[in-house]
Chain A
Amino acid sequence: MHTLLAIAAGVMFASGLYMMFRRSFVKLIIGLVLIGHAANIVIFTSGGLVRGAPALIPAGEARLPDDPAFTDPLPPALILTAIVISFAIISYTIVLVRRAYQAIGTDDLDQMRSTDK
């Protein structure tokens, strides 16, 4: 499962970056969404995948059980935070791209050279 998710994260990073390298605004946003999700999968995977174990300490016990394994609840919590943040940021980016499209009249990133001169 680790291997599968690691490959998935890699593919998502690669395709996200590929989309960002394209010239279209819309593909830029798709690329940002993809790499954002890829980072979440990295957190999820590297936090350790445990099958069928709860993120709870058994009743009456004072400490974590060693066996059966214990699911760490922190990575999902981190991912939730990251998802909320990326929701806000992607919303902002979509509005920005729309305004830029209206102001510049093209969705070609190569046309945006006036600030580089």
Chain B
Amino acid sequence: MDLLVASPILLHLTAGLLCVVAWKSVPAQRVISIVAALLGPLVAGLLLVTVHNSGPQTAALAGWPAPYGIVLVGDAVSVIMVALVAVVGLAVVVYAMGALDKPRERAGYHPLIHLLLTAVNGAFLSGDVFNMYVWFEVMLLASFVLITLGGTRGQLEGAIKYVTLNLLSSVLFLSAIGLLYGIVGTLNLADIAVKLPLVDAPGLKAVIAMLFLVAFGIKAALFPFFFWLPASYHTPPPAIIAVFAGVLTKVGIYSILRVFTLCFPQQLAEFADVFVWIAGFTMVVGVLGAAAQFEMRRILAFHSVSQVGYMFMGIAIAGVCLAQLAIDPAGDEQTGVLRQAAVVAVAGTMIFMLHHGVVKMNLFFISGIVMKLRGTAELKHLGDLYRTHPMLSLLFMVTAMSLAGIPVLSGFWAKLVLVRAGLDAGAWWLVGAALFVGSLTLFSMVKIWAEAFWKTTPADADKALAAHDESQGGPVPGVEPRAGQGANLTLMTIPAAALTVLAVAMGVGIAPIYRAAERAGEAVMNPDQYIEAVLDAEYLERLDEHRAALGLPPRRGGATVVAEADPTPSPEDPS
């Protein structure tokens, strides 16, 4: 078995377990935590380069070959996600050392954060749908404990909503797996992709696909399942929520992308309209919700919903392209354009996930710094930060403009690629909604800038702050320390500055990132490479013979959906 694919999982698992062993000693936990966090980008980078040079990497766990055993698969899509996890992990561990209060750190922050990263990596690398479910549950348990760490009233209330809806989503996921196993008799994703078209049960397939969509949609906080996110994301300290905003919702989007393009391309095309509506509503409702808020963390939480809509938009556009290819295989020229648009749309989703992971996490970092400085993130009690902390203001400004999509910064390219794909696919309304939402994002960011950084601090801010504390039951000792107490602002600022530089660097040096994302898009739209990397040739040959015996068109040759609707074999991939 290839250890490299498993190494991102093993690294964080080892670190998490060592931290549990060193439970009594916070300094020892810190050392373990930071060493693992520093190794993360190295391992992810190595995996990225290996996959780039020699195609998808697989590891058959315990030596049981696919499709009988569980496989881990690192392909062009999952390695990008693993790389994002590594960056997020490193930044958040450094930030937490400066920001997190001692009681929370003693209560197991370090082991939990590494177990969370283990599970997220596991979900990204798993090539088996039930194994993915298990990683989801590990991730949920770690996130449940993290979100309640400290146990303030707000956290407990938020956690009940978070826990209930996420458990509901797990149950739907599990039921979908059960039904899927019932019709294909396998759990390996590649094997499902090959065998599902052989099963003649369109109604049941549609039901299973929609169960997956709802289950992952709840995790990803898509409209209309997002209500847990704004209710819970602003309650824990920024050192915890930043990592949630950085990677957790992306697990949902990644799973939709993986499961639908690999196993359910037919259903993705059939329900493309549903996908488009969900994407549009998620973007618009999220940004309108944010516009109504006046607390930094709440604004950012609502914005996460809206940004998830953008990530989903790429998948929806790919669905629209597949649907058009299926009903109207038209001329070769149009086919080429639509296929390329689908590839670009998926590339847009990938770039957006990278961009959003970095930028949104950084905005939560900065909101945490503001809270340490002023004791609140309520915009009406803030002000003057531009005069007292010009460097912090610069960090906020650059990051916020990147989120809003100002040219040269990372967000601009992410949106440009999505809009371009949308125009090629003819999804005019969706593109219009995306641009409209972009301008409202700018509005929200400018609102934070004007209120927190630009205006003069209201004269009664201290009094208002005391009243605010009173309404929350007083400042809980050690939970949210006021300026300076127990916080190391330098350690908090370093990751914030590094991520800001990264957001600029991603914007200026977009070319290699775009190429990597485009490769991911091609891998998603032409799943043959993935399937052939996972399953052995002899096994596939037998399945293909069986397929031919059933009178179905051949498996190879690009997106499967075309082959099913079009009696003639689809032309070769334009790339």
B235 / chain A contacts, CB cutoff of 8 Å: 115
Q: How far does the alpha carbon of A114 sit from the alpha carbon of B471 in the complex, in Å?
A: 11
A88 / chain B contacts, CB cutoff of 8 Å: 141
Q: Determine if A74 and B181 form an interchain contact, defined as CB atoms under 8 angstroms apart.
A: yes
Q: Determine if B157 and A104 form an interchain contact, defined as CB atoms under 8 angstroms apart.
A: yes
Q: Give the Cβ gap from B144 to chain A, nearest Cβ, in Å.
A: 6
Q: Determine if A35 and B179 form an interchain contact, defined as CB atoms under 8 angstroms apart.
A: no
Given A96-B160, A104-B156, answer yes or no on A78-B177 (Cβ-Cβ < 8 Å).
yes
Q: Give the Cβ gap from A88 to chain B, nearest Cβ, in Å.
A: 6
Q: How far does the alpha carbon of A97 sit from the alpha carbon of B151 in the complex, in Å?
A: 12
Q: How far does the alpha carbon of A116 sit from the alpha carbon of B293 in the complex, in Å?
A: 11
Q: How far does the alpha carbon of A48 sit from the alpha carbon of B181 in the complex, in Å?
A: 10
Given A32-B164, A85-B137, A104-B153, answer yes or no on A115-B144 (Cβ-Cβ < 8 Å).
no
Q: How far does the alpha carbon of A35 sit from the alpha carbon of B166 in the complex, in Å?
A: 13
Q: Determine if A46 and B171 form an interchain contact, defined as CB atoms under 8 angstroms apart.
A: no
Given A32-B167, A93-B167, answer yes or no on A81-B134 (Cβ-Cβ < 8 Å).
yes
B35 touches A (CB below 8 Å): no
Kindly report which residue of chain B lies nearest to residue A29, judged by CB atoms. B164
Q: Determine if A78 and B153 form an interchain contact, defined as CB atoms under 8 angstroms apart.
A: no
Q: Give the Cβ gap from B103 to chain A, nearest Cβ, in Å.
A: 15
Considering the complex, which residues of chain A in the window 19-61 have a beta carbon less than 8 Å from any beta carbon of chain B?
A: 20, 25, 28, 32, 35-36, 38-40, 42-48
Is the contact region of chain A dominated by helix, strand, or loop, or is it mixed? helix
Q: Give the Cβ gap from B179 to chain A, nearest Cβ, in Å.
A: 5
A7 touches B (CB below 8 Å): no
A103 touches B (CB below 8 Å): yes
B181 / chain A contacts, CB cutoff of 8 Å: 43, 46-47, 74-75, 78
Count CB-based A-B contacts (< 8 Å): 105
Q: Give the Cβ gap from B135 to chain A, nearest Cβ, in Å.
A: 11
Considering the complex, which residues of chain B in the window 317-350 have a beta carbon less than 8 Å from any beta carbon of chain A?
A: none
Q: Give the Cβ gap from B511 to chain A, nearest Cβ, in Å.
A: 43
- Hey, what's the 0/1 contact readout for A96-117 against B, CB within 8 Å counting as 1? 1101100110000100101110
Q: Determine if B168 and A92 form an interchain contact, defined as CB atoms under 8 angstroms apart.
A: no
A82 / chain B contacts, CB cutoff of 8 Å: 174
A8 touches B (CB below 8 Å): no
B148 touches A (CB below 8 Å): yes
A-side interface size class = 35 or more
B140 touches A (CB below 8 Å): yes
A47 / chain B contacts, CB cutoff of 8 Å: 178, 181-182
B-side interface size class = 35 or more
- Hey, what's the 0/1 contact readout for B446-474 against A, CB within 8 Å counting as 1? 00000000000000000000000000000
Q: How far does the alpha carbon of A91 sit from the alpha carbon of B429 in the complex, in Å?
A: 46
B179's partner among A42, A92, A114 (CB-CB below 8 A) is A42
Q: Determine if A112 and B160 form an interchain contact, defined as CB atoms under 8 angstroms apart.
A: yes
> Which interface residue of A75, A85, A93, A115 has the most chain B CB atoms within 10 A?
A115
Q: Determine if B140 and A46 form an interchain contact, defined as CB atoms under 8 angstroms apart.
A: no
B178's partner among A28, A75, A109 (CB-CB below 8 A) is A75
Q: Determine if A36 and B171 form an interchain contact, defined as CB atoms under 8 angstroms apart.
A: yes
Q: Give the Cβ gap from A100 to chain B, nearest Cβ, in Å.
A: 4
A69 touches B (CB below 8 Å): no
Considering the complex, which residues of chain B in the window 135-187 have a beta carbon less than 8 Å from any beta carbon of chain A?
A: 137, 140-141, 144-145, 148, 151-154, 156-161, 163-164, 167-168, 170-172, 174-175, 177-179, 181-183, 185, 187
Q: Determine if B177 and A103 form an interchain contact, defined as CB atoms under 8 angstroms apart.
A: no
B313 touches A (CB below 8 Å): no
A78 / chain B contacts, CB cutoff of 8 Å: 130, 177-178, 181
Kindly report which residue of chain B lies nearest to residue A101, judged by CB atoms. B156
B85 touches A (CB below 8 Å): no
Given A39-B174, A39-B175, A96-B148, answer yes or no on A46-B182 (Cβ-Cβ < 8 Å).
yes
Q: Determine if B157 and A112 form an interchain contact, defined as CB atoms under 8 angstroms apart.
A: yes
Q: Give the Cβ gap from B165 to chain A, nearest Cβ, in Å.
A: 10
Kindly report which residue of chain B lies nearest to residue A85, judged by CB atoms. B137
Q: Give the Cβ gap from A73 to chain B, nearest Cβ, in Å.
A: 12
Q: How far does the alpha carbon of A48 sit from the alpha carbon of B141 in the complex, in Å?
A: 31
Q: Give the Cβ gap from B373 to chain A, nearest Cβ, in Å.
A: 24
B residues whose Cβ falls under 8 Å from a Cβ of A: 130, 134, 137, 140-141, 144-145, 148, 151-154, 156-161, 163-164, 167-168, 170-172, 174-175, 177-179, 181-183, 185, 187, 230-232, 234-235
